[in-house]
Amino acid sequence: MSITTNDLKTGMTLDLPEGLFQVVDFQHVKPGKGGAFVRTTLKNTRTGAVVDRTFRAAEKVERAVIDKREMQYLYREGDDLIFMDNASFDQMTVPPSALEGAAEYLVEGSNVVLQMYGTEIVGVDLPAAVELAVTDTEPGFQGDRVSGGRKPATLETGLTVNVPLFVNPGDRIKVDTRSGQYLTRA
């Protein structure tokens, strides 16, 4: 679908000759001399690289239609993850590299929204925080409440986060999916 650069919006995905790009920021500029133009900051959805690009005003660009599908993570098969589409119940095999690190926050049965461009996964929408069980950490001691004291803990998905000293193996904690940091005990 073709649109003009005057119709750009933040979050929109463009199919440019160099690849698939998401609009991070844009600014319409009308200088005193010469024609108007649109200055953009674009993020490559495949590599994550951010580039600045300038377009002429009213220049035509191709808009990529991204299909957001709600999927449930079923299980791991070797290195790959198996997802089921919640609408059609079709199963899909996904390599962890396509999930941009989101696999570290997924436990069996959890729901995520996969952003699809055709059959390619171009993004993952995770909840802001997930609840995971601590599988391994040094045990905490009664009275061990040093302000700001932290220790590493390994979670059920293999993710390692720094937690307060009072967290023990078997505890369930909430982890921020954007920063990968401990939030609170669940």
Predicted structure pTM score: 0.70
How do the domains of the chain map onto residue ranges? 2-62, 67-125, 129-185
Q: What is the CATH number of domain 2-62?
A: 2.30.30.30
User: What pLDDT, on the 0 to 100 scale, is given for residue 25?
Assistant: 92
**In terms of CATH, what superfamily is 129-185?**
Nucleic acid-binding proteins (2.40.50.140)
109 neighbors 71 (Cβ within 8 angstroms): no
Number of alpha carbons in the 13 Å side-chain half-sphere of residue 166: 9
% the chain with pLDDT above 90: 12
Element at 70 (helix H, strand E): strand 67-77
pLDDT tens digits, 5-37? 888 888 888 888 888 898 999 999 888 888 889
Q: Do domains 67-125 and 129-185 have the same CATH topology?
A: yes
Rounded to an integer, what distance in angstroms lies between the CA atom of residue 171 and that of residue 138? 12
**Cα four-point dihedral sign 68, 73, 74, 78:** positive
pLDDT tens digits, 88-130? 888 888 888 888 778 888 888 888 898 888 888 888 888 888 8
User: Which listed CATH number (3.20.20.70, 3.40.50.2300, 3.40.50.10740, 2.40.50.140) goes with 67-125?
Assistant: 2.40.50.140
Rounded to an integer, what distance in angstroms lies between the CA atom of residue 178 and that of residue 154? 18
